[in-house]
Amino acid sequence: MEMRMRVNPSGGAAMVETPASASPGSTSRERNVFQKMLSEINNQQRRADIEVQKSLLGETDLHEAMLALEKVDLSLRLLVQVRNKLVQAYEELNRMAI
């Protein structure tokens, strides 16, 4: 799987995971879970971008925009850590002698 950075015009950035191909051991259920997580983070990013735009126009406080951006950042960091732990567990299972 490949991670790409998407930068929005309003200054927000999001990591978007694009699968190069289906991994041999992955199931459709696992893919669906990660796709759902990525979709939710993408929606959070869009809402945060809207908050930033509203803040720039003076319609909302900068505080609201910063909270939305931090929420997206935290969600993305959590997702990346979960992915890293899953990859680490997969690699450890591959190293085990059966």
Could you read off the pLDDT of 25-63 as tens digits, one per residue?
Answer: 567 887 888 889 899 999 999 999 999 999 999 999 999
Could you read off the pLDDT of 58-88 as tens digits, one per residue?
Answer: 999 999 999 999 999 999 999 999 889 989 9
Residue 18 pLDDT > 60: no
Q: Which of 10, 5, 3, 25 is nearest to 57 (CA)?
A: 10
What H or E segment, with its residue span, contains residue 5?
Answer: strand 2-7
What H or E segment, with its residue span, contains residue 71?
Answer: helix 62-95
Report the predicted TM-score, pTM, of the whole model to 2 decimal places: 0.63
